[in-house]
Chains A and B, each alone.
Chain A
Amino acid sequence: EAEVAQSPRYKITEKSQAVAFWCDPISGHATLYWYRQILGQGPELLVQFQDESVVDDSQLPKDRFSAERLKGVDSTLKIQPAELGDSAMYLCASSPVATGFYGYTFGSGTRLTVV
């Protein structure tokens, strides 16, 4: 069964350091999403890509977060500098089309701890 791949699975970093997460969506999925899930809460959308273009980044803290999907396939989410409050699970999801019903497929996530 096709999966959304994310790495690393776990990451511990010191505050003020830079950190990056990688996501490889299911082959052929045009839409890719990054979510942040703080412990005890539901995921919240950070950014949505349609192919290589950003569709929605209204909730992305742009002073420290950046995301790219250069060739419209895999994607990288970066935080620089990391803050203690960034400790969370970062989930990537993909879907085949931008409209209509479709199944979002989530990756296993990257659990970030900032110390």
Chain B
Amino acid sequence: AQKITQTQPGMFVQEKEAVTLDCTYDTSDQSYGLFWYKQPSSGEMIFLIYQGSYDEQNATEGRYSLNFQKARKSANLVISASQLGDSAMYFCAMRSFSGGGADGLTFGKGTHLIIQP
């Protein structure tokens, strides 16, 4: 069974500072993918960044980067130069490529990030 753990229920960060959101995962699969999503109060899930288990370099997408440490089974999201609009829930999720076609995401409980001016 897969499990995602996000240990920070909430975080307050000053605008323009960098922020790291923690995510650890547990899986017995060798091939898997890790995702981060942002969920504003309106409810939609917005894809931020993806890291494959065999990717040698950490993923980056604009102000978002993923600090992937495979041996530690961690996939922390780093947001540089935070903005007020970054205030939202952030979810770490994992998909396994174990075959059989079933590949739904397993999500963590999320971190509520609040950016303060």
> Which A residues contact B (CB, under 8 angstroms)?
31, 33, 35, 40-45, 48, 50, 55-56, 89, 91, 93, 98-99, 101, 103-109, 111
Contact = CB atoms under 8 A, between A and B. Distances in A.
Contact of A109 (B44, B102, B110): B44
Contacts of A45: 104-106
A42 B93 contact: yes
A26 B43 CA distance: 19
Say whether chain A's binding surface is mostly helix, strand, loop, or mixed: strand
Interface in B66-117: 91, 93, 97, 100-110
Interface of B: 4, 33, 35, 37, 42-47, 50, 52, 91, 93, 97, 100-110
B103 A99 contact: yes
Q: Please provide the 8 A-B residue pairs with the shortest distance between their CB atoms, ordered closest to farther.
A: A42-B107, A45-B104, A56-B102, A106-B45, A55-B101, A108-B44, A109-B43, A48-B104
A43 B107 contact: yes
Nearest to B37: A106
A42 B91 contact: yes
A44 B107 CA distance: 7
B73 to A, nearest CB: 18
Nearest to A44: B107
Contacts of A44: 107
Contacts of B97: 99
B87 to A, nearest CB: 17
Contacts of A99: 97, 101, 103
